[in-house]
Amino acid sequence: MSTRVTVWNEFRQEQSDPPVRAIYPDGIHAAIADGLRDAGFEVRTATLDEPEHGLTDEVLAETDVLTWWGHIAHEEVSDAVVDRVHQRVLEGMGLIVLHSGHFSRIFKRLMGTTCNLKWREAGEHERVWIVDPSHPIAEGLGESFLIEHEEMYGEHFDIPAPDRLVLVSWFAGGEVFRSGCCYQRGRGRIFYFRPGHETYPTYFNADVRRVIANAAAWAAQPAGTPPTYGNRQPLESL
Amino acid sequence: MSTRVTVWNEFRQEQSDPPVRAIYPDGIHAAIADGLRDAGFEVRTATLDEPEHGLTDEVLAETDVLTWWGHIAHEEVSDAVVDRVHQRVLEGMGLIVLHSGHFSRIFKRLMGTTCNLKWREAGEHERVWIVDPSHPIAEGLGESFLIEHEEMYGEHFDIPAPDRLVLVSWFAGGEVFRSGCCYQRGRGRIFYFRPGHETYPTYFNADVRRVIANAAAWAAQPAGTPPTYGNRQPLESL
Amino acid sequence: MSTRVTVWNEFRQEQSDPPVRAIYPDGIHAAIADGLRDAGFEVRTATLDEPEHGLTDEVLAETDVLTWWGHIAHEEVSDAVVDRVHQRVLEGMGLIVLHSGHFSRIFKRLMGTTCNLKWREAGEHERVWIVDPSHPIAEGLGESFLIEHEEMYGEHFDIPAPDRLVLVSWFAGGEVFRSGCCYQRGRGRIFYFRPGHETYPTYFNADVRRVIANAAAWAAQPAGTPPTYGNRQPLESL
Amino acid sequence: MSTRVTVWNEFRQEQSDPPVRAIYPDGIHAAIADGLRDAGFEVRTATLDEPEHGLTDEVLAETDVLTWWGHIAHEEVSDAVVDRVHQRVLEGMGLIVLHSGHFSRIFKRLMGTTCNLKWREAGEHERVWIVDPSHPIAEGLGESFLIEHEEMYGEHFDIPAPDRLVLVSWFAGGEVFRSGCCYQRGRGRIFYFRPGHETYPTYFNADVRRVIANAAAWAAQPAGTPPTYGNRQPLESL
């Protein structure tokens, strides 16, 4: 059975903002989903304005990895859905948080920090360097890749130190950023991946698609043993 | 100026439960505060049933390190106080979470996980081992110390992997537990320290007091540089 | 193609010491190899007294994962073989270091520390707890497993903090030990696994065999991208 | 008593290479030592061509923190001195490895990896970003600092993942580098700090001097409890 990915998108600016619609006429989710389908994943999409934001218990139960893109409407995501996604991640569902999703409620919930950062919209060069080439997410990437035009995100990025730091971005204007960050929380694997501003065709970039596909494969990986909790009898005589 | 510690306590079982009152007639907070005063800290206390749980903006502004003990009334801690303590930790206030505080709202908020574990009340031997003797919190402890009677906490403990794991407990009934866990979140240092069940005189134990004092000194340590965030001009010409 | 494991053993005490021979008549390597073959790996063995300790360039080139058991003759392992194994690990060969292999030249070389510890031969209960149940090495293990009779190893264990700590042992005599430690060094994955004293039938234990098989699968996992080094032209105009 | 720092330097190119001598007429060690003296440390220097490279048992016994700069003569450092420095680090002496010291025998010994990297001598801008502003080494640095002309070092840098990553460099030619890396090995704290090519006046730069002084204060910090090892009696009855 192939890995089942649900691609979640806020899907607002593609409808309200012509320059964004010009790049992503079917929504950012459609571009991400196409890349994942090409890589062999079983993909569905869900968006903010669907009932329960498209993330019902049934959908999440059939999701191995969830990708998350949001920007201007983070606060419209309901408590119930944040709680539900949080619980599923702790139970083992993978989560890939993209770009401005750094300020999503689910990412801040999982990190416990502000997730704040610096930014600039100047369409500048972003070069993404692989600093942990032994990590599965680095597979096939070479030493670095270029995104011709992107928004800048700069340090300091207020996150817990990643369990593994895989990617660091260089920006033409002088900044660096920890762009690919791995976390384990409960039984779930989480990957934050920086690129993807809505005014650039980043999710059509082959290297970006490769990172997302590698991350989905990594985050979906079944592993380990179910934890147990609660009141216990002694194993050895006291 | 000496380090200012605020010792927070739920302070319910000491009033409602005679065996607990027999051990901590003035409350668990009084015992913890005495240990910290003996170690040279400037200490005040605060409890759940005070207005704003005793943790007003003014109190927190004058607090370098907050210690937290709670057990049966975690859910009575208000949103406002959890938010306030959370923000102060991210700004740099140290936080020491004690024993059943693993299930406190503030600890779960900072960890992003369930913080669940196993437990048994059998008054058994707990031997606390120092697995990272180079850490400041280990100062003066030797290789291990014994607590004659304690509640057992057992793995799996559902926390993010600690930034540094300093202490691991051995229990007579056969379990182990990661008992001393360090985290950095934002500018704040956090230490989880396991021992301290309300029916045992753990907070009078000299080694336990030493750990708490070492942790307060470590968590209070001023350091670093203030982070900056927001929209930025380029540093190099694009 | 199945994963190719080379099981290396010092193979001295099985020949010189009747109680050891009684347990491992064909050598410790034979028992470890049987467990791995049963788990579906392609296995060969190599021992200290073979030419080049059985670890020629050809053998290592055909090895995905090397397991290492040594005890009384660490210093007889030649510089050339230590160098060769070290280089292969950095290139991506997995390495599983077993029990008294903590003092092997290759493990100390990779760790950079003394790898010293405490010990006691009393045939006591060792209970191995899974503290990171989300790790692939934990697969199928449940919450803990018992080894009826083992040598004790106690903290402090002088190693770099593991990248991931998967297992912690409890001993009847009162000690704890970080028994399952994961490291990434260069492109190679390293796992230290504590149990396996030569006077006990530990390598016939089903849980111990499962850990070693899980670790071999984890350490062999191909991943990542080849790193590049050396003098470079600028990617952007200076 | 103030912290005692020994500044070690290869001190060859300052004598053989006029452009280097023009910048560091008294040697790189003199510039580093001046910066540390100005910051209040008690400083002595030692160089390769002194007897025992200036690092006798007596000198090391009186050294709280050792800084290391070498480039073209790493292999001339004797086994005895590498062993001695290694042992002292594991016992608790701090070590600050500078720039091309990434290929020194002592750094490779402590890391267990090749410590390889990319490089370019083009006198380009290096901007050093603070990615962990809560770390003591970041004190007083602000968000980033510029070095006008430096050699480039680029990823991949083949080191174990740092215990804490404090600094990341941006280079005008398009690369990034993990420039400030903290490690604990045994009782010793180790800091790798990237800048310092011999043809640029980097060790006169106020920000670079501040980093080195902060690192010396951090690495010298006494802490913890002495570890114990060896054969042990049971603490609890078996």
pTM value > 0.95: yes
Chain mean position to CA B36: 13
CB contact under 8 A, A224 and C142: no
Predicted local confidence at residue A237, as pLDDT: 82
**Of the partner residues C130, C131, C161, the one whose CB lies closest to the CB of residue B164:** C161
Mark yes or no for CB contact D113/C228 under 8 Å: no
Q: Would an 8 Å CB–CB cutoff place B223 in contact with chain D? A: yes
pLDDT at position C48 is 98
The minimum CA-CA distance between D12 and chain B, rounded to whole Å, is: 35
Nearest to D164 among A131, A155, A161 (CB): A161
Q: Which residue of C has its CA nearest to A148?
A: C236
Say whether D224 and B186 touch across the interface (CB within 8 A). no
pLDDT at B187 over 90: yes
Map D103-146 to HEC letters: HCHHHHHHHCCCCCCEEEEEEEEEEEEECCCCCHHHCCCCCEEE
Subunits with 3+ C-beta pairs closer than 8 A to A: B, C, D
Positions of chain D with pLDDT under 50:
none
Q: Which residue of B has its CA nearest to D166?
A: B224
Report whether C173 contacts C157 (CB < 8 A): no
- Whether residues B134 and D172 touch (CB distance < 8 A) is answered with no
Cβ contacts of D143 on chain A, cutoff 8 Å: 155-156
| Residue D230 in contact with partner chain B when CB distance is under 8 A | no
Q: B31 Cβ partners below 8 Å, 6+ apart?
A: B24, B201, B203, B204
Q: How far is residue D139's CA from residue D115's CA, in Å, rounded to a whole number?
A: 27
pLDDT (0 to 100) of residue B1:
64
Q: Is B222 within 8 Å of B189 (Cβ atoms)? A: no
In tens, the pLDDT along B41-61 reads 999 999 999 999 999 999 999
CB proximity D176 to C under 8 Å: no
Q: What does the pLDDT read at residue C19?
A: 97
Distance CA C155, CA C194 (A): 12
- C-alpha span between A122 and B28 (Å, rounded): 56
How close A130 gets to chain C, by Cα (Å)?
A: 9
The secondary structure of D86-102 as a DSSP string is HHHHHHT-EEEEEGGGG
Distance from the D191 Cα atom to the nearest Cα atom in chain C, whole angstroms: 15
Cβ of B133 and C156 within 8 Å? yes
**Mean pLDDT, residues B128-157:** 97
As a whole number of angstroms, the distance between CA C178 and CA C162 comes to 9
Categorize the per-residue pLDDT at B238 as very low, low, confident or very high, splitting at 50, 70 and 90. confident
Per-residue pLDDT, B90 = 97
pLDDT digits (tens), chain A, 238 positions: 699 999 999 999 999 999 999 999 999 999 999 999 999 999 999 999 999 999 999 999 999 999 999 999 999 999 999 999 999 999 999 999 999 999 999 999 999 999 999 999 999 999 999 999 999 999 999 999 999 999 999 999 999 999 999 999 999 999 999 999 999 999 999 999 999 999 999 999 999 999 999 999 999 977 788 899 999 999 998 7
**Interface contact C120, partner B, CB < 8 A:** no
Q: Do D144 and B223 touch (CB under 8 A)?
A: no
Residue of chain B whose alpha carbon sits nearest to that of A237 = B173
Digit-coded pLDDT (tens) for C168-213: 999 999 999 999 999 999 999 999 999 999 999 999 999 999 999 9
Pairing of strands C164-171, C176-185: antiparallel
Beta-ladder partners of D42 = D4
- The answer to whether the Cβ–Cβ distance between A173 and B234 falls below 8 Å is yes
CA C56/CA C62 separation, integer angstroms? 10
CB-CB neighbours of B58 under 10 Å: 9
Q: What's the confidence (pLDDT) of residue A77?
A: 98
Shortest CA gap B49–chain C (Å)? 37
What pairing do the DSSP bridges indicate for beta strands A230-231 and C4-9? unpaired
Residue D1 is predicted with a pLDDT of 64
- Chain C: residue whose CA lies nearest to D108: C112
pLDDT grade, residue B185 (50/70/90)?
very high
**Nearest Cβ partner for A114 among B122, B173, B186:** B186
Residue B180 corresponds to which tokens in the numbers above?
């001393």
Mind giving me the DSSP string for B181-237?
A: EEEEETTEEEEEE----TTS-GGG-HHHHHHHHHHHHHHH---S-----EE---SS-
What subunits make at least 3 CB pairs under 8 angstroms with D? A, B, C
| pLDDT number for residue C236 | 92
